Amino acid sequence: MRALPGEYKARFDRDGYVILEDAVERATLETLKGAIAEHVAAHDHEASRAVFRTDDQDAGREETFFASARGIQAFLEAEALDEEGSLSAPRDRCFNKIGHALHDLDPRFEALARSEVVKDAFAVGGLEYPRLVQSMVIFKPAGIGGEVRWHQDASYLLTEPQRVVGLWVALEDADRTNGCLWMAPGSHRAPLRERYEVDWGSRDGTLHDLDSTPWPDEALPLEVRAGSMVVFHDHIPHRSEANRSARSRVAVTLHAHEAGAAWAPENWLQRGSLPDFDL
Ligand code: FE2
């Protein structure tokens, strides 16, 4: 990192996010892209047609999604399946995401998770003892990748006290034409607007409204080069637009919480018998 870690920490505290440029080496990006290509090639879409979308109030994603907390599960783009359930586009353009235990189960993602820069980034976000709970590939494929609506990650990843930090690593250049992140500096100070809770008796997940504070009406596009990393607060609203460009916008995200903060039993993400992944 070029700036002193203290400068990054000050920016994170002020804005709710900070960009670490050129945080991940090109060789690591290539290794991760190779790993992702293997997972894409291995996915059997006949056996699993799980789709991920954010325009349906999170309905209908339950069992496959819950199980993905402990495995490596691919989710397709809503537009990627035709009426017969076949892939409507080339295979490498049909995926929305893969998650959420890549760091536990794929040594190439584990190496990223255990890298110095990742530990430093979580420290910038204020975590003293980061415990990694999820890892994810987000594809945003060219021409197909859908919009992700405004949300706060704490709605899905709650601890007591609330101490979760996200990292977003660009594997490819991201700009406003191919669906980069948008955030409003300082907006992490607003309350949590929604909470996604699972009733493990009925195994239903519900998105509850908690607070009527509007989503930001002005935000900045976080246009970053491949290898850059965004460190972001669990309360900062963020969104991304559909990718109608000819370039994909693949990113890897990692989320950790302070090890001493208790993981909410109503969170959809339950790691079961996976060992704690402490950095
Ligand atoms: Fe998010």
- d(CA 51, CA 23) in angstroms, rounded, equals 31
Residue 199's CB is within 10 A of a number of other CB atoms, namely 10
In-domain check, residue 279? no
Can you give the pLDDT at residue 63?
82
Q: Domain containing 245: what range?
A: 6-42+49-273
Looking at the DSSP bridge assignments, the partners of residue 72 are 100
Can you give the pLDDT at residue 2?
46
In-domain check, residue 13? yes
Amino acid at 31: T
In-domain check, residue 1? no
Can you give the pLDDT at residue 62?
76
**Cβ-contact 241, 147 below 8 angstroms:** yes
- d(CA 117, CA 1) in angstroms, rounded, equals 8
What Cα–Cα distance (Å) separates residue 125 from each residue in 51, 76, 169, 217?
31, 31, 15, 25
In-domain check, residue 232? yes
Q: How far is ligand 1, taken at its centre, from the CA of residue 84, in Å? A: 31
Q: How far is ligand 1, taken at its centre, from the CA of residue 115, in Å? A: 22
Can you give the pLDDT at residue 49?
61
In-domain check, residue 160? yes
Can you give the pLDDT at residue 38?
94
In-domain check, residue 263? yes
- d(CA 107, CA 138) in angstroms, rounded, equals 18
CATH number for 259: 2.60.120.620
Residue 211's CB is within 10 A of a number of other CB atoms, namely 10
In-domain check, residue 278? no
Can you give the pLDDT at residue 50?
64
Can you give the pLDDT at residue 276?
97
Q: Which residues surround ligand 1, an ion (CB under 5 A)?
A: 153
Q: How far is ligand 1, taken at its centre, from the CA of residue 272, in Å? A: 23
In-domain check, residue 81? yes
Can you give the pLDDT at residue 225?
98
Can you give the pLDDT at residue 94?
86
User: Which is nearest to 8 in space by CA: 229, 220, 227?
Assistant: 229
**Cβ-contact 23, 228 below 8 angstroms:** yes
Structurally, the chain folds into a number of domains equal to 1
Residue ranges of the chain with pLDDT lower than 70? Answer: 1-4, 45-61
User: Which is nearest to 184 in space by CA: 11, 12, 17, 13?
Assistant: 17
